[in-house]
Amino acid sequence: MRLVDQYRHVRHQTNVVCQPLQIEDYMAHSAPWASPAKWHLGHTTWFFETFILIPFVQEYHAFDSRFNFLFNSYYNAVGDRLARAHRGSWSRPGVSDIYRYRQVVDEAIIGCLSVSEEQIPQEIRSRVVLGLHHEQQHQELILTDLLHHFSVNPFCPAYTQRRPRPSTPVEALHFEVFQGRIAEIGHVGDDFAFDNELPRHRVLLHPFALANRLTTCGEYLAFIEAGGYHDPKWWLSDGWDVCRANNWEAPLYWRREQGKWHRFGLHGLVEIEPEQAVAHVSYYEADAFARWSGARLATEFEWESVFASATPEGSFVDSQTYEPTTLRAIGEVWQWTASAYLGYPGYRPFEGALGEYNGKFMCNQFVLRGGSCLTPSSHFRTSYRNFFSPETRWQMTGILLAKDVLR
């Protein structure tokens, strides 16, 4: 696909994601670590304006110079910015102003790209591609932030209607053994990858075993019912503190009503289905569940060594199911790995302000792999490294078990 068509497609998809929103929904801001949809729309647009139009398009004038303050997320190199906790506290510019901003920027970018492919300067090309992947990350965040927002609303609004889905039998859990070896890890090829997927390098793997499928709600429920949330022996020390301080009793969005467990999702409140992949667990819960199960989480290197050449045929957001529908490791729920988020040997951030994209966050976070039912499929790679701090639960995060193999 030509770059200009990719641009049109991805930017359009953001509109598709927002299509069910009322104007009020764009303002919603229910937690300091989330952002209103209005901000996401502005921020992704600001990215193209700041990193492409302003430096490279001479005749372009900033749509509104004050937007830099509003829509900068964390790029210290690009100036002051609104504190994240205040992202919900401004009503002007309004939603229609933001859409107008998007349109102006889109026209300018499309103008740039409406030449033959080889005429697009390499720096612009690579920044547009980065901007589109950035936009796709925010498409997922718009949905997860909105879900959180709806979840605190006593009216339990649904983002969309649930489609009937055939119930499929759950394959019995077993562990497949993989031999120790030296594996090549990291992105390969000329296609786009984030700087944190590079450089490709060798890692020595010890023998391990990996579950044949994701952990289900039913399996996780057994952990709850066995008192897992009330026995410190399964938990990391920090995890236990967080669990007790917040009175965690189940994954985020699970609620016990009339004696039955339900979960709140983008289709509203539905009963727990035991065969569905569990989601909205923190690293602490994933790790405790694994320990209780006599297992552990996989490292990101084990994960990648197994799935590097897997075909990505999961739900992804393209399916518009907005919930996990299979138990495959790709495209259903992000899986917490046992790997802290750090740079690969020889890691180099992108140059300039864009270097703040990934490298700045390499502490106190764990890597997640696999993509989710809210991830655009064209955004995903098997070398993709998502990362969140271990108490994070509002993302579509689940569990894939692993085990040591005694040598």
- Measured from the CB atom, the residue of 155 and 260 that comes closer to a second copy is 155
Give least dist CB 192 to a second copy, A.
23
Give the distance, in angstroms, between the CA of residue 125 and the centroid of all CA atoms in the same chain.
Answer: 24
Q: Does 91 bind a second copy (CB under 8 A)?
A: yes
The 141-160 contact track toward a second copy, x by CB under 8 A, reads --------xx-xxxx-x---
The correct pick among 122, 294, 311, 407 for binding a second copy (CB under 8 A) is 407
CA distance 379 to 72: 22
Whole-Å CA distances, 51 to 7, 54, 402: 15, 7, 41
Q: How far apart are CA 184 and CA 304, in angstroms?
A: 9
Helical ranges in 152-200 per DSSP H: none
Taking CB under 8 A as the criterion, the residue among 17, 18, 26, 336 binding a second copy is 26
Write out the binding residues for a second copy, residues 254-293 only, by CB under 8 A.
Answer: 283-284
Question: Please, which of residues 375-394 interact with a second copy by CB under 8 A?
Answer: 389-390
Sheet (strand 401-404) strand order? 175-178, 208-211, 401-404, 296-297
Q: Of 243, 224, 195, which Cα lies nearest the Cα of 350?
A: 195
CB of 49 to a second copy, least distance (A): 17
**Contact string (CB under 8 A) for a second copy, positions 177-196, x = contact:** -----x--------------
Interacting residue with a second copy among 2, 56, 62, 69 (CB under 8 A) = 69
Which residue lies nearer to a second copy by CB, 116 or 161?
A: 161
Nearest Cα neighbor of 67 from 111, 23, 88, 97 is 97
CA distance 51 to 236: 41
Stretch that binds a second copy, among 133-141, 228-236, 321-329, 379-387 (CB under 8 A): 228-236
Select the span of 5-13, 189-197, 199-207, 253-261 touching a second copy (CB under 8 A): 199-207
Burial (CB < 10 A; 0-12, 13-18, 19+), residue 362, is middle
Contact stretch for a second copy (CB under 8 A) within 40-48, 111-119, 132-140, 200-208: 200-208
Residues 6+ apart with CB under 8 A from 25: 37, 146, 149
Choose the stretch contacting a second copy; rule: CB under 8 A; options: 122-130, 253-261, 319-327, 332-340. 332-340
- The span from the CA of 363 to the CA of 344, in Å, is 13
Beta-strand relationship, 296-297 and 401-404: antiparallel
For a second copy, the closer CB: 107 or 238 = 238
One-letter identity of residue 36: P
Nearest approach, Cβ of residue 285 and a second copy (Å) = 13
Count the neighbouring beta carbons within 10 Å of the beta carbon of residue 356. 17
Contact residues: a second copy, CB under 8 A: 22-30, 38, 66, 69-70, 74, 76-77, 82, 86, 88-95, 149-150, 152-155, 157, 182, 201-204, 206, 232-233, 235-240, 283-284, 338-340, 342, 345-346, 356, 360-364, 366, 389-390, 404, 406-407
